[in-house]
Amino acid sequence: MTEEPEITREEELEKLFHLQCPSCGGGTVKVRNSHGVAGEIFVEVLCRSCGEKGFFQLIGVENDVLEIERAENPWAELDRVLQKDWNDWHDYKTRHLKPTPVTGGSWFKPVNVFFLIMIVGGWSFFFIDQIHLLDGIFENIQIRKAHIQDYTAKLGKLPCLSQAMKEKLKNVPIRYTRERPYHRDRIQYGEAGIYWGEEQIKVHRSNFWFFGAPRESQLVETLIHEVRHRVSPALGHNELFYELVERDTKCSLKLW
């Protein structure tokens, strides 16, 4: 007749507990209790499958360890509390004590790559555009002249401009210039005056992006600004002059 193996006190305690390892989900858990100098009750748990550990003080339990151990099912009512404490401790370690290691390729996520492209692209665009103002890179003069002629012709047909301005748009030569658009450390967009005995209007490259496309609102404002100088040269750059330019520009862009 085969003798049944003797059940140790430790194995007995394991059966009394109904715990589940929060790390691997295993149910084979080693449980050991102890008490402190002031009668505190401590419980140590260890998953035999993955080694996950926990060590907790049972709060609100009678201090007499012997009475608890002598009960018919001494720890059964503490399963729920102990399981919750163990789960909370495992979650805390996962969040704070065991950070996920950063691998070499984890940075290259789509959102990070997108923001990198946006930052580098924006900086490159600004840098190239500033170089363009100085040296006119990718500058096609004929295309830019054609843009100026198209804008001039379109402005001449708008009903909001005065007849005097339309006459200037039609009769005064409006030329694209490759001169550097700086005046007293400020960007200049155009000029108007008498050059070599001829009335002229100059349009600088600052009215265009480096790849050739016109800055629509800026080019419209520049043309109106310089044509207004030729219509009313006595105004100079006084307050009335800027009010007239702003009024004509807003009106023109609305009808554009």
CATH number of 216's domain: 3.40.390
Answer whether 252's CB lies under 8 Å from 161's CB. yes
Tens of pLDDT, residue by residue, the chain (256 residues): 555 555 455 554 455 567 888 888 887 788 787 777 877 778 888 888 888 888 888 776 554 444 555 555 555 556 777 888 888 888 888 888 765 555 555 667 788 888 999 999 999 988 888 888 888 888 899 999 999 999 999 999 999 999 999 999 999 999 999 988 887 778 899 999 988 889 999 999 999 998 889 999 999 999 999 999 999 999 999 999 999 999 999 999 988 8
Among 65, 90, 115, the domain-final residue is: 90
Same domain flag for 137 and 86: no
Can you read off the two tokens belonging to residue 215? 């800055």
Please give the tally of structural domains in the chain: 2
CATH number of 28's domain: 2.20.25
Among 90, 119, 140, the domain-final residue is: 90
Q: Within a domain: residue 118?
A: no
- Provide the 10 A C-beta neighbour count for residue 180: 15
User: How would DSSP label each residue in 67-90?
Assistant: HHHHSSSTTGGGHHHHHHHHHHHH
Domain that holds residue 169: 132-255
Cα atoms in the 13 Å half-sphere on the side-chain side of 107: 3
Same domain flag for 151 and 241: yes
